Structure 1
Amino acid sequence: METLMLEGVLFFPVTPFTDIGEVDLDALRRHVAAGVDAGPGGVFVACGTGEFHALDVEEFTAVVRTAVDAAAGQVPVYAGTGGALGLARRFARAAAAAGADGLLLMPPYLVESPADGLVAYTRAVARETSLPVIVYSRANARFDERTAAEVAQLPTVTGLKDGTGDLDLVARIVPAVREALSASGKDFQFFNGMPTAEASQPAYRALGVELYSSAAFAFAPDLSLAFHRAMEEGDRQRVDALQRAFFHPLVRLRKRVPGYAVGLVKAGVTLEGIKAGPVRPPLTSLDAGEVEELAAIIAEGRAVLAS
């Protein structure tokens, strides 16, 4: 299988809901199309920001199909899967049938397991389709350097996304995987998957992790892309200015309530003109004062661009 290599800023759209909690496919179509027009390197639909955990298989299938249609082949579309093994297999097959180009494999249902069990879980889901798979190391699915190297050698596994924030571990995983794949020459990519990844991206980049998921791109693609350009060009002054004015305040707001990583993005999407609706339980939405605070943070970030 030829590896599907990604580049640029990775767009993680929300899943809009109506006021009564149903999936709003029209809003999703406009949201994805607008994001693709802004110029991301790929679309990751129905993943963490897209509330994968709250979608049933029928909703998930419709969401993926809508995103694939909206992207219109301009960039690859990856879909989330994970959770209980039987459901993860079903979601993987549904994503393939809906036209997805790849899968982001999120943690299994919240049970503790050894890293070897995660390898078996990855293998079981990956063999359901021929789609490339990016594995997500976070929460109760933490790979170590040995098991990361082992899953990297599975035929369809093409990347590892880190959401642990454990830079010491990442610093060991990256060379371990590269060494394991050196004989085969297989292409493999690493991703920074921390919430508000831009805040930690300078540190990840120093470890050879150049790709990252940008939640901010979903509602402020101009700020997200400006940050990415500054990173690529080594413009430390612009990176620092955007961190101080936008990304660090965003992190402080996000950390105020567990789960705000999703509610904050949905509020931002609505502020920018596409009604994203509420989050589904057990997540909670921002209150009116926090929405105003978010609007001010966005304005401060854009003031940096204007300067």
Structure 2
Amino acid sequence: MRAFIFPGQGSQSVGMGKALADASPVAREIFQEVDEALGQHLFRLMTEGPESDLTLTENAQPAIMANAIATLRVLEREGNVRLSEKADFVAGHSLGEYTALCAAGALDIATTARLLKTRGRAMQAAVPVGEGAMAALLGADIEKAEALAAAAAEGEVCQVANDNDPGQVVISGHRAAIERAIALVKEHGIKRGVLLPVSAPFHCVLMQPAADVMAQALAGAPLSAPVVPVYANVLAAPIAAPDEVRARLVEQVTGRVRWRESVAAMTEGGVTQFVEFGGKVLGPMVKRISPDATVTSVISMDDIEALLAGL
């Protein structure tokens, strides 16, 4: 069994998508469609920068999605491949869940781009700059991370945001609480705590204003049942009913990204091959969770051709 997976924020870089667009009219069509949906020259920003603008949450989120979907669509159209015949599940990390839903036909690409633009703006606006922070805990399992977050909170928000793999957990909350957590890592048997270069504390209760915005946006968005089940970040389980998809996407704004559990559940369900589109971020996590799994990253035309030969 096979899962197609899609990366989250942090996988953006200036130049992304350029080689693919140069090589494929299908990719160029996808990037143009996203530009038109958003009413901005996002593809120019992706290929030329500046990096500071591309890194802005409201730009990074639709850009990462567009790059991954363009890669997938080139595979599908030029390789005459149907996702429903080659993938048993789809999943994405945080914003990647929207990409996964688009890949599986639950959302069209214009709607996905607009939702992610809205999501990025709402997440940025939810907490004043400087009040929130996130940190990666290296050498931490979920139990150690939860104990550290509880000890560091002191009445402020400090909670697990991303359970990425057996050795990496991300915490999120008020800046002072996150800084306290970093200072306490050794006492909790954790190797290191690293402050992340993010502009807001994602996936914690401080994001509730953004969740409210997304509840409204998703209520009015056309959403169909995906052609294959989508693993929901907040459940670490597959879902397909449109109303449940909407509810879980709203929960995801403030909820934990249960990536480690999602990959483990897919593996236990029989998935032996994971294919990451548009990035090389999730593959190493998957290997740490499921060492026996086969992991493929698909970014270039060469990658697409190699994957086609093995499908």
Instruction: Provide the TM-score with structure 2 as the length reference.
Output: 0.27
Structure number having the greater strand percentage? 2
Which structure has more RCO (C-alpha within 8 Å, separation ≥ 6)?
2
